[in-house]
Structure 1
Amino acid sequence: MAMMPGRAARYIAALVAPAPQPHIVVPCRASPPLSSPSHVADTLITDRTQLVQYIAGGEKPRADWRIGTEHEKFGFRLDDLRPPEFDGERGIEALLKGLTRFGWDAVEEKSRVIALTRDGASVTLEPAGQLELSGAALETIHQTCVEVGTHLKEVKEVADELRLGFLGMGFQPKWRRDEMPWMPKGRYKIMKSYMPKVGSLGLDMMTRTCTVQVNLDYASEADMVKKFRVSLALQPIATALFADSPFTEGKPNGYQSYRSHIWTDTDPDRTGMLDFVFEDGFGYERYVDYLLDVPMYFSYRDGIYHDASGQSFRDFLKGELPVLPGALPTLRDWSDHMTTAFPEVRLKKFLEMRGADGGPWNRLCALPAFWVGLLYDDTALDAAWDLVKDFSLAERHALRDGVPRDALKLPFRGGTVRDVAAEALKIAVAGLRRRACVNSKGVDESGFLDALIEIVESNETPAERKLKLFAGEWNGSVDPVFREFAY
């Protein structure tokens, strides 16, 4: 798999050679947005098969496959670079209220604005006020980039008035955990108390990390299984390409994706590579069994988060949940519980790719392009499966464990992760070209991968570039990152 010296540049250059463009814009039909717990009915669960059927209900015909992109970003005050609190005239709630001028509807919890919704999208808060756009279910990467760009423009307009800025990276580069604020959301209070019981870095995950992810559809159980296996095996490759979290509390931390490393000591019950996905017989039922063994965090009822941390959803199914004795769960409880598992790839009514650090606009567009190119074209999906199908369990774990530190330069099978990344990008480019979703100028989606191709061609991750700046013109300070890399 290793490339000979001098071959890499020619190999990557071939990926971006001009391709014939179709003359017709691919038509796209409307479909419902990707599922959200807030839209799940309070249907009582009386049989375990309902849990399986809930996931199977995500199946969609190819014409209705959509792309849902999510990204998080750190807020900071322009004068002192500190993260804004929730309260106050320059706080996060003020920012959310300011965004309502663009047609966003406010979502309140205990009379406080904690989220926004508009046209199938939402703006939500992570525990320390990281601002997240959960995008609508869209047809093309072109639309995704318009959505992301519009959101960032709206945020900047309001943030400028509040003298705030926003930064896309995987880990908070400057401030200590105890210097991060906490948002007034009930589920975060429960998680804050529980996390230190099961891992040493869970509170860092909550308060000091940011990611970009994409949510993609499947047609059937077999299609889900194949996509799950491919995306899980290649998730470390995405981590390497997007590695952008090399600083902790103002100093290099020894990692390129410290965000990814943090998940290795957050909570072993709900994180990891899910080896059972590669076992014979894997499907919806096996994933339900996994989720039933993930300890609960809470049950949300009558506007109250009931602390069920560490308790069993299996007991809940029998009406024996200690915090709610005699109560049976609803599909809303199940949907909420599914969001409290944090593997590298997560299955709900769609598949979520969770391996990438947050970053600038072009990489926020590149992540969905990467996975859509690999998973939404049959030829590409077959080629991606051929690339990873003989990865052993030990190799998959070696990639997962080694990439946070070494990224593209991690040795693998006589070459490096860079070689695997180059091959995956070749497949993704071809997949997007065959997909042939073009914009009004007749340009397809493959150009959104240029940012990743350049990273592979240079063999230098975003983290490595920032480390060079830190050692050079930044004179050992991370403060310039807030100026030079802000949205």
Structure 2
Amino acid sequence: MSIPQSGGGPIERPEQLAEYLASGAKPKDDWRIGTEHEKFGYCKDTLKPLPYDGERSIRAMLEGLRDGFGWSPIEEGGHLIGLEKDGANVSLEPGGALELSGAQLQTIHETCDEVNLHLREVKEVADRIGAGFIGLGAAPDWQHDEMPLMPKGRYKLMDAYMAKVGTMGRDMMRRTCTVQVNLDFGSEADMVQKLRVAIALQPVATALFANSPFWEGKPNGHKSWRSRIWRDLDAARTGMVPFVFDEGFGFEAWVDYALDVPMYFVYRDGRYIDALGQSFRDFMRGELPALPGEVPTLSDFADHLTTIFPEARLKKFIEMRGADGGPWRRLCALPALWVGLTYDQTALDAAWDLAKGWDAETRDALRIAASVDGLQAEVPGVRMHDLAREVVDIAEAGLKARARPGAGGLLADETHFLNALKESVETGQTPADELLGKYHGDWAGDVNRVFSEYSY
């Protein structure tokens, strides 16, 4: 999850909030790709999650990356809780999953090189301390009480609040992992089209990347249990944000939505101040109970935006949030999918043509069906397998049109990064289907075989 934002002065006019979002617009030549992915760490001998402290721990992982590969430490309250280098960050999810928040890069070739280097570094440190890492959408056989809460003030506050809203927020915090990509927009109109495509087609990503069919040691009845968890987390800050499709939607409408999402915290002087359930609108008037008389800064607003969790999220860029964490090669497939769909105008128009006739009920139904059935999902008028085939074809055409060669011109474009998704479309099988096939076959019902066969 996000680190504290910085650099914003006091908010003196309400219009500054929409202006802040609008300031993210960039000319097309400056559009970049930021890939984030999370993975579960575990002890190789016990197959249990890594604790924060100890010789074989999350802290030992961070120290090994810091000392062995030149990462700079990020600390909070005397605890090492992250690393930074060359525009990238390594951070901790609430239950100890390790996340790479990648640098803003020009091509998928570069972002995949970054992913590959990071996982090699992680494996080197992990092998040395007797740990392993695996990419799944949900922890396959760990109980809530086995997952330690990382020593970050933000997580302590969130954990308390999650227990009061929805039923699965604390499960999301500790026992799920995702891969996502952050992409740019060129104008308000471009943002609107991209965000609408992102929201409408996010269920396709959920289906293609479905990789969480196990929970607490057995099949859970869903291809993406991670997606199921997000559906019962906190209705005020999650979901398919239907207002994005209203006529006249733009930056101001997103600000209005964000201001109505209850707050978690205010960050001051290295400390998270409890503002759970309080109103950012009150904060704007200097009436926040947590900080009476004080008005927010743009950094406070930026922090607040990181506590909103719809299927695609607008900040000064757009975050695609619908995919399960997964195998190494699929970590590069997600940015390939969304870059292909959104960074070429012809592809973006074609993607919008697929979805523009759907109503909110259809979009919600697709989201639910994707989590349950993956590529076998169907809703009235839409077969997910057929839709996914069209989406991947459009993305491939978009990447061909971009024509971004690899280093030395050895690869003509970025289309080969879609190969894993093309295989799923051809076979109808996602990672979840493969895992379930092994569970009911060679594994003879032993979920823990996933660690020996699918770890990085």
Give the shorter-chain TM-score range. Answer: over 0.9
**C-alpha contact (below 8 Å) 1:37/1:332 kept by paired residues:** no
Tell me by how many angstroms 1:360 deviates. 1.1
The 1-side partners of 2:303 and 2:157 are apart by 14
> Does 1:213 pair with 2:143?
no
- 1:95 — aligned with what? 61
- 2:333 — aligned with what? 366
Tell me by how many angstroms 1:267 deviates. 0.3
Change (3 A) 1:408 1:346: same
Change (3 A) 1:415 1:316: closer
**C-alpha contact (below 8 Å) 2:369/2:379 kept by paired residues:** no
- 2:442 — aligned with what? 473
Percent identical among aligned pairs is 60
Tell me by how many angstroms 1:413 deviates. 4.6
> Does 1:401 pair with 2:358?
no
| 1:377-396 deviation digits (Å, cap 9, x = unpaired) | 01101111111111122111
> Does 1:454 pair with 2:420?
no
- 1:6 — aligned with what? none
- 2:223 — aligned with what? 256
- 1:13 — aligned with what? none
| 1:349-377 deviation digits (Å, cap 9, x = unpaired) | 00000000000111000000000000000
> Does 1:349 pair with 2:328?
no
The 2-side partners of 1:221 and 1:237 are apart by 25
Tell me by how many angstroms 1:401 deviates. 1.5
Change (3 A) 1:37 1:181: closer
| 1:282-301 deviation digits (Å, cap 9, x = unpaired) | 00000000000000000010
- 2:31 — aligned with what? 65
2:104 alignment partner AA: A
**C-alpha contact (below 8 Å) 1:37/1:335 kept by paired residues:** no
- 1:271 — aligned with what? 238
- 1:24 — aligned with what? none
The number of residue pairs the alignment matches comes to 452
**C-alpha contact (below 8 Å) 1:271/1:344 kept by paired residues:** yes
Q: Which of 254, 270, 292 is matched with 2:259 structurally?
A: 292
2:156 alignment partner AA: K
| 1:298-356 deviation digits (Å, cap 9, x = unpaired) | 00101111010100000000111111111111111111100000000000000000000
- 1:197 — aligned with what? 164
* TM-score (structure 2 length as normaliser): 0.98
The 1-side partners of 2:237 and 2:13 are apart by 24
- 1:84 — aligned with what? 50
- 1:231 — aligned with what? 198
- 1:30 — aligned with what? none
> Does 1:464 pair with 2:430?
no
The 1-side partners of 2:161 and 2:62 are apart by 28
Tell me by how many angstroms 1:84 deviates. 0.7
Q: Secondary structure of the equivalent of 2:332?
A: helix
1:43 alignment partner AA: G
Tell me by how many angstroms 1:414 deviates. 4.8
**C-alpha contact (below 8 Å) 1:221/1:283 kept by paired residues:** yes
Runs (4 or more) in structure 1 with deviation over 3 Å come to: 36-39, 412-415
| 1:49-104 deviation digits (Å, cap 9, x = unpaired) | 11111100100000000000000000010000000110111110111011012110
In structure 1, stretches of 5+ residues that fail to align are 1-35
> Does 1:442 pair with 2:411?
yes
- 1:302 — aligned with what? 269
1:378 alignment partner AA: Q
The 2-side partners of 1:303 and 1:334 are apart by 17
The 1-side partners of 2:87 and 2:60 are apart by 22
The 2-side partners of 1:333 and 1:204 are apart by 27
Tell me by how many angstroms 1:39 deviates. 5.5
Q: Secondary structure of the equivalent of 2:45?
A: coil
> Does 1:55 pair with 2:24?
no
The 2-side partners of 1:317 and 1:142 are apart by 43
**C-alpha contact (below 8 Å) 2:168/2:229 kept by paired residues:** yes
The 2-side partners of 1:103 and 1:61 are apart by 33
| 1:25-66 deviation digits (Å, cap 9, x = unpaired) | xxxxxxxxxxx8656314111111111111001000000000
> Does 1:331 pair with 2:298?
yes
* TM-score (structure 1 length as normaliser): 0.92
Change (3 A) 1:414 1:268: closer
Tell me by how many angstroms 1:211 deviates. 0.1
Q: Which of 46, 62, 78 is matched with 1:111 structurally?
A: 78
The 2-side partners of 1:481 and 1:251 are apart by 12
Q: Secondary structure of the equivalent of 1:197?
A: coil
- 1:21 — aligned with what? none
**C-alpha contact (below 8 Å) 1:291/1:341 kept by paired residues:** yes
> Does 1:181 pair with 2:159?
no
The 1-side partners of 2:158 and 2:80 are apart by 20
Question: Root-mean-square deviation (CA), in Å?
Answer: 1.0
In the TM superposition, 1:6-25 aligns within 5 A as: none
The 1-side partners of 2:288 and 2:368 are apart by 36
Tell me by how many angstroms 1:248 deviates. 0.5
Q: Secondary structure of the equivalent of 1:361?
A: coil
2:55 alignment partner AA: E
**C-alpha contact (below 8 Å) 1:244/1:461 kept by paired residues:** yes
| 1:178-213 deviation digits (Å, cap 9, x = unpaired) | 111110000000001000111110000000000000
Tell me by how many angstroms 1:411 deviates. 1.5
**C-alpha contact (below 8 Å) 1:380/1:427 kept by paired residues:** yes
> Does 1:45 pair with 2:11?
yes
| 1:140-179 deviation digits (Å, cap 9, x = unpaired) | 0000110000000000000011100000000000101111
